[in-house]
Structure 1
Amino acid sequence: MEVLGAFLYKRSVSEWKSTLKALKRIPDDNIQAKLQISFDALNASQKDIFLDISCFFIGMDKDYVGCILDGCKLDPGIGFSVLKERCLITIHGNSLMMHDLLRDMGRYIVQGTSLRNCERWSRLWDRDHVIDVLANYSGTDETEGLSLKADVTAVENFEVKAFSNLRKLRLLQLCHVALNGSYENFPKGLRWLCWLGFPEEYVPRNLHLRSLVVMDMQKSNLKRLWSDQKKPQESLKELKYLDLSHSIQLTETPDFSYLPNLEKLFLINCQRLAKVHESIKVLQGSLILLNLSGCIKLGELPLELYTLKLLETLILSGCSQLERLDDTLGELESLTILKADYTAITQIPSSSDQLKKLKELSLHGCKELWKHRQYTNSDESSQVALLSPLSLNGLICLRTLRLGSCNLSDELVPANLGSLSSLEELDLQGNDFRNLQTDFAGLPSLQILKLDNCSELRSMFSLPKKLRSFYARNCTVLERTPELQECSVLQSLHLTNCYNLVETPGLEELKMVRVIHMEMCNNIPYTDRERIMQKWAVGANGGVFVPGSSIPEWVNFKNGTRSISFTVPEPTLNSVLVGFTVWTTYVSQQDDVMSAYIPKITLKNQTKGDVWSRNPATDLIRMYREKHIWQGHFSNEDFVLETRDEVEVSVDFGDKVAILETGITLAYREVIEVPNVQLTEIDDEVDNEQLTETDDEVVIDESQRRPPRKMGMGLKTLLGAFGLLAFIVVLGKHGRPLRRHNHLRRNKVEKDKEKDATLLIFSFLDY
């Protein structure tokens, strides 16, 4: 339905009728033929993209696949968009995904009428078929793509000449495959060569790769890309993407003069790589990404690297012997991402203030960063000078800054941290400062602040007003958070194991917090914890974790087991049940350990025979030997509970967590009532502890409602009438159907009431 609906969207009536006639001619059980109607409407290049994805690229990175298909002249930019619009592919994260039925349809199309003659297929993906073609030397010019994946413990061996008849091969994927013989007649039109576990120490000189766009040879046995005595016969001018990651025998990067147009280079975890070839300067007009993370033998970068004017991403994390970046770092004028986590870097060059486009700077775990070293020409020995804080001047576009575990003391916190007006995420976790005096309120864009494991932190000056997530777990001596009331859009608060915390001022006033973690915060008075829980339970949509041995007294329904049964009560006012909050006390034999079990809530509607299972919108459960309370909110949109429904709710935190008690509170939304001639409205002055207002509704706990206050006829009443009329009209035009068929029932009395209310408004307007 999704595929056909996307295909017919915005088409004319005649096209709809024509498509419906075609569908009627196809048997009901032939789903693939019906799906193929959408495929047949694609142009030639879009069909090729769809078939390539269905056979080779499901689950792969969109940009990676796009580079390959662009090298095949298939226009992946518009192609991906069309396939996505037609619901023939989906993109999750940045991965290309396809429904199994669509994948099977694509492969069926490839097979065509030659079901038993796989050598005639344009693409070969099945292991048995590929082995049959290669073992019998039966390949043909019709094959454009081939994939053979063997197990690492059972390497497949073939003769190179088995590929000699595959002259139009453009896509080749081999995994743990060894080839014997000369590569003289190997396919010369390859655009994609993915050979994981390549067994040779050098790429053969007579392997012609002049058309290659993507070379992916991870986990290879390469020592160098080419032997010094056997350089390639010609440059790989089309090559844009080279990945030699996890090639642990590799000692040196290739001579880049043979790769003049390379754009992305990955050398991740090449543990013996000790040198970046100085010819990298030839890439100053092309290279945009260089990833050297985990190259633990790499001690320095060539000066030529700093001439790469187009370089946008430089990743050096885990290069544990790398001690310095050159003063010409600022000449990388296009640099937007610099990651140098867990390196031995002692300082960031002063020229970094010229990196006007830098958006992400990550120096996590650089414990020597604040020590300025001066090198002598004689013995390269170093002398440690006075400690000095990092300067962040000039980084006007910086959005993410990570300085976690950098031995930051009060004196070494960057003084100009508060001037980073574009900063959105700041990570200072695991440092040694005691009094964080930075005025975070002056950072207008900061949304994520991480201070986890700052075991010496005692006080903070302020928090940013647009903060959405605040992490201060294991800040064991912190006694008070800054004022939280100003953080009006805060959505998650993480204060786990803040043993000395006694106050979180303003927390109970926040309306958008979805998740609150306060495990082991035993010094916060229980009355404060209860007030936070009561305020949150009315209108939030997430979960709260606090220390406690019993569910609060004001919770409506309670039971001393992991499940609870109740009957949905008759509302005392004109209101709609919009959700419910589940409460439970729990304990474990393990202490301060994260459970691997995903918590689950099961709801059984005994009246309607429905059974639902849901995972709470909170994180995994952290287990403690001390008792804790968890509460989680669930919307009634999923369950559609109605008055007098017999309901059972059970909580499951896994076999390592004991559930001691379970409780339920119900939340309702008030609706406007129109009795006789007068209109009613909700009292504007309802106490904050009883109401939580959201943009579109007022949610009231079942036990916290009061009668509406009536008003005389006036301007406010007239506006209310117009508003309700608009609501009824819009609801009638755009109202969404409920999820289950048996929930579509509405009795005649309810319909008559709605009709009477509508007529009353029209009568009032006529008057």
Structure 2
Amino acid sequence: MASTSNIQTTPSSSDPSSCSERRWKYQVFLSFRGETRYTFTSHLYNALLEKFIMPFKDDARLEIGTPIKKELLEAIKESRMAVVILSKEYASSTWCLEELAKIVECMNDREMKVVPIFYHVEPRDVRHQKGNFGDAFAQHEQNPENKEKVQTWKNALKEVANLAGRHLKINEDESEFIKRVVKVISGKLITLIDDPEYNLVGMDSHVKEMNLHLDLASNDVRFIGICGMSGMGKTTLADVIFKKFKHQFRAGSFITNVSSRSKEKGVVALQEKLLSDMKLKDDQEKLDELMGIDVIRSRLCGTKVLIVLDDVDKQEQLETLAGNCNWFGPGSRIIVTTKDRHLLTRHTVPFIYPIKGLLKKEALQLFCQQAFHTDQCPDQDFLDLCNDFVSYANGHPLTLKVLGGFLFGKEKYIWTSLLAKSQVFLHKDIQVELEKGFKALGDTEKNMFLDIACFFNGEDKLRVVDLLEDTSDCFPDIDIDTLVNKSLLTILERKLWMHGLLQIMGREIVRCEDCVEPGKRSRLWRRDDIFEVLGENSGTHKVQGIMSSTLSPHQEEVLDPEAIDPEAFSNMKKLRLIKICDVNLSRGLNSLPNGLRLMEWHQYSWRNIPKSFQPRNLVELIMHRSSFLQLPTAFLKLKKLKVMDFSGSENLMMIPDFSGCPSLQKLIFEGCTRLDKVHPSIGALKHLILLNLKDCKCLRSLPHEINLESLNLLILSGCSSFSKFPEIGQNLSELYLDGTAIEELPLSIQHLTRLTLLNLGECKKLSVFPSDICCLPALKTLILSGSTPTLSLRNFFSGLTSLVTLDLSDCNLLDGALPDDLSGLSSLEILNLSGNNFTRLPDSISQQQKLKLLSLYNCKKLQLLPNLPSTTQIFPSGNIFSNIASTSAGGSISEDIKLREASGVGSARKRKMEEAFGQ
């Protein structure tokens, strides 16, 4: 009498009672009279099967007069929608009418979807119960047992007949009609994914993005890839898409865990699974790999199919299961989930969706669903901890589910303990899942992954490549590219970023190299482990890197001066990287590995280095606050050295001969307060891009001519004795001379055609300023704050058409100091005139249409202010406008300016101006 489909759906977990709420057991309940069982209903049944709507068929003989089966009534309650086939004899069956009454009850109670089909009957006869339907009810009324039910049956029939249905006329093509009916049923089932019981947190945005890639209206054959790190929801998204759209395809197959299943059972088993799902394989048919390819290609080339290949990790898996577009019929869609983006690219998959993590709000909702079985945290005492776990997971759904589920019903002290533990150790389920990607890497790729996890997360990519290339077991460019493609790493703004969970996973892998003796691990980053190894001289040849973070200002931990062994590095022959902070070397140091590529030792307190130390492969030498009186000879013969940084080394008195370091790119002696000489060899450093001598207060000059062809940034800020600026290379982009004693700039400054920033702030002795400065075509930022009061600006700005920021604060400017015509500053957006003594501003300032910020802080004598563009934000101090008159009619400040000042958020505006001008 009835048929049902048996595909289960997923309940929502947003309700606290979700564990006991109804699970829809069936998709469709077919209510029909026996007269259509072997004709229309049978054909509809088969058509639904073809669309993967699997009907349940009750073939039991029905005894006339027997009560309706209890199982059928239960099936109705457990069905998401019903299709009622209203044939001529439908109303003559009390079974059918009982079913119908139950269907209407479910339709009204829980909005069950109902589709009536008027099979060779007129809809108006059904609504008004005429003809066969009237006769059937007259017959029922004669039976005393039915008297109380007849009216209920009549009402139910009328209610269903009034719904929008489908009418099959006697002479109509039944096969075409069935196709249209199946399409209607499929369409209604597709909307189920939007029902609350199908809701998955954060899935809406993913489905919308995937809809664009799927473009189901297109008739082409399309491959779509979903890529991302483990546990990010690739399989879940593919599952939602498959369930949502599979009814629009002739056949479909979802093959999970392709990677592991192909290893366990071979790819032939997966080929057979795909064909079996499509109902295209005989149970007796035996395949091999090549035959499987031929069978899939030949039997599906004319069929519109939806296929999901989940967790693919090898090219041959794609080649044997879904070779190319020619294998499948028009309109087919093949979805591939993988951690390896390059695998998709190699297979020429044109549409790739990199799945993103959950937003903070979504992550909190998912975590609360697991931890409390509600969408929100019900207890404010736990809210901060919830947010801490959300921050820790950083949008990773698997972590939110695992940790949230673990914490369900646990007391607060358990939450706190788990949060602390999770910073060091991943939950075993998360560790296992994330390690899958790591285990699939090659040896050099694993080394690169662990280096980044332990030392270089967030570092500039080029720096990491420089430090690690040209070694026998490391190929950073290709290995980093592989890690990016395998979703283990991202590159944002040239920096390497590894998800925090992956970093913890990588560090745990290193810790497990030897859980007891840190000196037998490949990498050390924890200060306690580093101190133990250095203090006990327990380091071995396995140690490749020692990198400790710099102490924060609030930490007072310093290694006992007697604790470090002078022979601490003697056994660490493979050590490549050292970063040690605040270690006292009162007993000296007898050895260092010659294979070092990075030596970063902050506050190196010994005035010598071991005599045997010849670090010929050194790329970076960073020794802040060292105690050296002069640089050791070994540091001056380093052909691969690119960075030398001795910031804060207050005992150094001169920069020595650097001819033995031809590859230097960055030279930093910031805060070397006793340094007064720079060797002329600095002019031969053809690759130098940065020279930072900030706050070298004893430095008086540089060599007369330092034509550094690559120099991009020169910083002499705070060199208060520096008075003579040399001839300089033409490629300079930024020049900081603020706080120096220079009296004039060389005429050659006009040749700095690439200069974008010039800082001459607080140059009190600067009396002559070359007029050619206005010919600098690339200059965007000019800072003259606190400069000499005799500085003339009348003809100064005529050619600065690229200038965006101009700082003239505290220059003691009087009326007339600024030129009347400011039209040359056509790109100006930020103007700082704070702390000056003019009473009015040039009228032409009102023509600066691009001006966004104007600072008039502490301009106490200002009385007249022109009308300014509506987009200009003014930053005055206190009640400055009480002294200002406007050039507009009425002689008082314009209402426009007053309103802008009154309605603006003062503190926010002040912060913005201070950031813009560096105040």
Q: Report TM bin, short chain.
A: 0.5 to 0.7
* More deviation, 313-322/232-241: 232-241
Partner secondary structure for residue 361 of structure 1: strand
The residue number in structure 1 matching 2:875 is: 494
Comparing 34-43 with 257-266, greater Cα deviation is found at 34-43
Task: Write the distance in 2 (CA, Å) between the matches of 1:166 and 1:7.
Answer: 43
Counterpart pick for 2:505 among 77, 83, 105: 105
Match of 2:713 among 307, 313, 325: 313
Instruction: Give distance in 1, aligned partners of 2:885 and 2:877.
Output: 14
Map of 1:225-624 to 2, 5 A cutoff? Answer: 225-226=631-632, 231-232=633-634, 235-283=637-685, 285-304=686-705, 306-326=706-726, 328-329=727-728, 332-371=729-768, 390-408=771-789, 412-413=792-793, 415-434=795-814, 435=816, 436-437=818-819, 439-456=821-838, 458-460=840-842, 461-462=844-845, 464-485=848-869, 488=871, 490=872, 492-497=873-878, 498-502=880-884, 524=893, 531-532=899-900, 543-545=904-906
Pick from 309, 328, 346 the counterpart of residue 14 of structure 1: 309
Distance 1:135 1:303, change over 3 A: same
Contact 1:482 1:505 in 2 (8 A): yes
Give the CA deviation at 1:113: 4.9
1:396-453 CA-partner distances (Å, limit 9, x unpaired) = 11111111110345x6116231311222211111112223225334323222222222
The residue type equivalent to 1:121 in the other structure is R
TM-fit CA distance, 1:88: 5.5
Match of 1:382 in 2: none
Partner of 1:691: none
CA–CA distance in structure 2, aligned partners of residues 430 and 448 of structure 1: 16
CA distance in 2, matches of 1:44, 1:494: 59
The one-letter code sitting in structure 2 at the alignment partner of 1:274 is D
Aligned-partner Cα distance in 1 for 2:808–2:570: 58
Check 1:76–1:144 CA distance in 2 against 1; reply closer, same or farther (3 A cut). same
Post-superposition offset of 1:129: 1.9
TM-score (norm 1): 0.58
Distance 1:152 1:483 in 2: 59
Retained in 2: the 8 A contact 1:7–1:38? no
Distance 1:187 1:441 in 2: 62
Q: Distance in 2 between matches of 1:143 and 1:458?
A: 69
Amino acid of the residue matched to residue 821 of structure 2?
A: D
1:334: Cα distance to partner? 1.5
Change in CA separation of 1:282 and 1:389 when aligned onto 2, cut-off 3 Å: closer
The alpha-carbon deviation at position 140 of structure 1 amounts to 1.9
Secondary structure of 1:133's aligned partner: helix
Matches within 5 A, 1:60-71: 64-65=463-464, 67-70=466-469
Q: Shift of the alpha carbon at 1:502?
A: 3.4
- In the TM superposition, residue 4 of structure 1 has moved relative to its aligned partner by 4.1
| Pair 258,6 (structure 1): closer, same or farther in 2 beyond 3 Å | farther
Name the CA distance, whole Å, in 2 between partners of 1:44 and 1:444.
57
Aligned residue among 53, 62, 67 for 2:452: 53
Contact 1:251/1:275 (<8 A) preserved: yes
Q: Does 1:124 align with 2:524?
A: yes
Letter of the 2:748 partner, please give it. S
Pick closer, same or farther for the CA change 1:58–1:20 going to 2, 3 Å.
closer
1:269 Cα offset (Å): 0.7
Amino acid corresponding to residue 544 of structure 1 in structure 2? V
Find the residue that maps to 1:135 and give its secondary structure: helix
When residues 367 and 49 of structure 1 are mapped into structure 2, their CA distance, relative to the original with a 3 A threshold, is farther
Distance in 2, matches of 1:4 and 1:141, equals 33
Aligned residue type for 1:454: N
Change (3 A) 1:261 1:68: same
Q: Distance in 2 between matches of 1:49 and 1:438?
A: 61
Q: Could you tell me which amino acid in structure 1 is paired with residue 786 of structure 2?
A: S
The answer to whether the 8 Å contact 1:295/1:319 transfers is yes
Any gaps of 5 or more consecutive residues in structure 2? 1-201, 203-227, 239-306, 314-335, 340-395, 403-426, 914-919
1:206 aligns with 2:612: yes
Higher fraction of helix: 2
1:468-492 deviations in Å (ceiling 9; x for gaps):
322222222223433323x65x4x4
Residues 484-539 of structure 1 deviation map (CA, whole Å, 9 limit, x = unaligned): 23x65x4x431224355535789xxxxxxxxxxxxxxxx857x65774479x6xxx
State the distance in 2 between where 1:483 and 1:357 align: 35
Question: Can you give the 5+ residue segments of structure 1 that lack an aligned partner in the other structure?
Answer: 372-387, 507-522, 537-542, 546-593, 595-616, 623-767
Aligned residues: 500
- 78 and 425 in structure 1: CA distance in 2 versus 1, 3 angstrom threshold: farther
Length-normalised TM-score, structure 2 = 0.49
Partners of 1:24 and 1:621 in 2: CA distance: 37
Are the aligned partners of 1:418 and 1:438 in contact in 2 as well (CA < 8 Å)?
A: no
Residues 255 and 34 (structure 1 numbering): CA distance in 2 closer, same or farther, change over 3 Å?
same
Alignment CA distance shift 1:402-1:265 (3 Å): same
Q: State how far apart, in whole Å, the 2-side matches of 1:21 and 1:286 are.
A: 42
Task: Give the corresponding residue for 2:568.
Answer: 162
Q: Which amino acid aligns with 1:33?
A: V
Instruction: Give the number of the structure whose residues are more often strand, by fraction.
Output: 1
Distance in 2, Cα, partners of 1:471 & 1:533: 13
* Cα contact 1:167–1:189 (8 A) shared by 2: yes
Q: CA offsets per residue over residues 6-28 of structure 1, 9 Å max, x none?
A: 79699994244789899999994
Q: Which whole-Å CA distance do the structure 1 matches of 2:733 and 2:782 have between them? A: 12
Residues 564-623 of structure 1 deviation map (CA, whole Å, 9 limit, x = unaligned): xxxxxxxxxxxxxxxxxxxxxxxxxxxxxx8xxxxxxxxxxxxxxxxxxxxxx665699x
**1:42–1:495 Cα change, 3 Å:** farther
Of 531, 538, 542, 1:138 maps to: 538
Q: What is the deviation of 1:176? A: 2.2
After superposition, what is the alpha-carbon deviation per residue over 1:651-706, rounded to whole angstroms, capped at 9, x for unaligned? xxxxxxxxxxxxxxxxxxxxxxxxxxxxxxxxxxxxxxxxxxxxxxxxxxxxxxxx
Matched position secondary structure for 1:31: helix
Amino acid at match of 2:629: K
Farther off after superposition, 246-255 or 158-167 = 158-167
Give the deviation of 1:253 after TM superposition: 1.2
> Cα offset for 1:97?
6.1
Whether 1:223 and 2:629 are equivalent positions in the alignment is yes
The equivalent residue for 2:407 is none
For residues 532 and 69 of structure 1, the distance between their equivalents in structure 2, rounded to whole angstroms, comes to 55
Q: Secondary structure at the match of 1:357?
A: coil
Instruction: Report how far residue 74 of structure 1 moved.
Output: 5.6
8 Å Cα contact 2:835/2:858 also seen in 1: yes
In 2: Cα distance, 1:445 partner to 1:451 partner: 17
**Identity %, equivalent residues:** 33
